[in-house]
Structure 1
Amino acid sequence: MKGTFLYDELSGRQLDIYLPPHPTTLIPAVIVQDGSSLFHQHILSLEKMIECGTILPVVLIGVHPFNRLDEYTPWEAPALHSSFPAFKGEADTYLTFLIEQLMPYLVQHYSIQPDHGQHALIGASLGGLVSMYALWKELSLFQHVGSLSGSFWYPHFMPYVREHNLLAVPQRIYLSVGSEEGKGKSSAQQYMVPFTKELHHILHDSGISENHLHLHIEQGEGHHISQFQQNFVSALKWFYGVK
């Protein structure tokens, strides 16, 4: 590895950070949910793409949640199963942390420019849910948003996006889902694929053209980390690919 992988902490929260070789103040930040779980297996291949000029240099910031069931959910909801706790719905507080604490900290301590115009927010599963929810919270700082197998089954989320207008319109949105996700489920998770397709239509109907909106259905794949990781790489190519 020619770049640097390091650990930092902010307000008691662990940050996993990758800095590319020779960073400048013009490098965009990619804020990633669930720490480095989406990118640590692909650091070398991502670095090679940067070196070859396939994608622009980026700083990856993996943000560890205190409790993903709470911080990645937009409002309170009962648990899907009696063996799990209920969702507390603390996404608004978490997103405020990203804007008011994390980004200023990154600007001060790393090679991040606040008004770069190419920063990204991305996550998988519930992390994909909170990343997409940000579009309805006027977080215009993030010009690229990625949701990998986003948990759009979450109670009342689809009615919410049907009834409310986007408050932030990013440059590019990347959606992905495995074709087998939700199969065999009796809960709302059975609607993973149709809800992802519907959200794609909602975003398109809101005025986001196909040049700025990408939906990838991973054929034969279910809801698992290796699929998320591969689509994370694809999302970065979509956001930062060099033509």
Structure 2
Amino acid sequence: MKWQSFIAAGRQCVAGLPDFAPGEKGRAVYLSGGDSLKDRLPQLEQALEGEMGKTLFPFALIAVTPKSWEEEFSPWAAPALSRKTPAFTGGGDEYLRDLAGPIRQACEERLPLLPDRENRALAGYSLAGLSSLYALYQTEAFGALASVSGSLWFEGFLNYMEKTAPRRRDTRVYLSLGNKEEKSRHPLMKQVGDNTRRAIGVLEGQLTVPCTLEWNEGGHFDGVSERLCKAIRWMMRRETK
């Protein structure tokens, strides 16, 4: 891939492009949480590049860095998880508006990307994964969404899902979780397993296209790159158009 960096809507973006033929355009996989993913982008490239144009649609990988995780990946304000961490300030709506609007537009103006929602996917890990699932109810811009080890323990989020209709019922959704993530001692975070199981049930009732829940070995910080690769493969695989 050829990499380039640019600013869009005040946020740092890093885009990796495969070797497109002249005039060729590809799909786009947006990764929320770009700053924390910088060290992982070469691993994702190495794992996925050989599959481009074969089992996977050709796509650009676009990592977007938020101004603040606790602000832009939280759907609403909530107390901090501990005395050592910031409170959640609930800027998730603004982030997704910018991502679906000016950030997407900037990417499509400067990169050889196919238009239309079926050619756009959004993925995130941890709190960014919560944001990716929240996007189902906030925007029509993405045809596929992936919440990888998503923070579905976030207070009130499952109730929100159950009471809110997706913006588009034909959005494909991928969830994954490590099988040890629910072993947390924290009273909220230990709910992540049950909440993720509940979430896939809600999605199956809301969506008209495939959704899936994949379990991985290990805890929250195990195999992050591999889990992201699994999500991207699921969203970009040719037979799941």
Query: What TM-score, normalized by structure 1, do the two folds share?
Result: 0.90
The residue aligned with 1:20 is: 18
In 2: Cα distance, 1:12 partner to 1:135 partner: 23
Structure 2 letter corresponding to 1:143: G
Change (3 A) 1:73 1:144: same
Matches within 5 A, 1:216-231: 216-219=214-217, 221-224=218-221, 226-231=222-227
Structure 2 letter corresponding to 1:28: R
Moved more, 116-125 or 89-98: 116-125
Count residues in correspondence. 235
Change (3 A) 1:178 1:162: same
Change (3 A) 1:117 1:25: farther
In 2: Cα distance, 1:236 partner to 1:145 partner: 9
In 2: Cα distance, 1:54 partner to 1:105 partner: 28
The residue aligned with 1:62 is: 63
Structure 1 letter corresponding to 2:48: L
Matches within 5 A, 1:96-107: 96-107=97-108
Structure 2 letter corresponding to 1:7: S
Cα offset for 1:6? 1.9
1:25-75 Cα deviation digits (max 9, x unpaired): 541111101116154322122111115x12111011100111011100011
The residue aligned with 1:199 is: 199
SS in 1 for 2:223: helix
SS in 1 for 2:181: coil
Unaligned runs of 5+ in 2: none
Matches within 5 A, 1:93-242: 93-115=94-116, 117-137=118-138, 139-209=139-209, 212-219=210-217, 221-224=218-221, 226-242=222-238
The residue aligned with 2:51 is: 49
Q: What is the root-mean-square deviation in Å for CA atoms of aligned residues?
A: 1.7
Unaligned runs of 5+ in 1: none
Query: What TM-score, normalized by structure 2, do the two folds share?
Result: 0.91
Is the contact made by 2:169 and 2:207 (CA closer than 8 Å) also made in structure 1?
Answer: no
Larger helix share, 1 or 2: 2
Is the contact made by 1:30 and 1:119 (CA closer than 8 Å) also made in structure 2?
Answer: yes
Is the contact made by 1:176 and 1:215 (CA closer than 8 Å) also made in structure 2?
Answer: yes
SS in 1 for 2:238: coil
In 2: Cα distance, 1:218 partner to 1:131 partner: 19
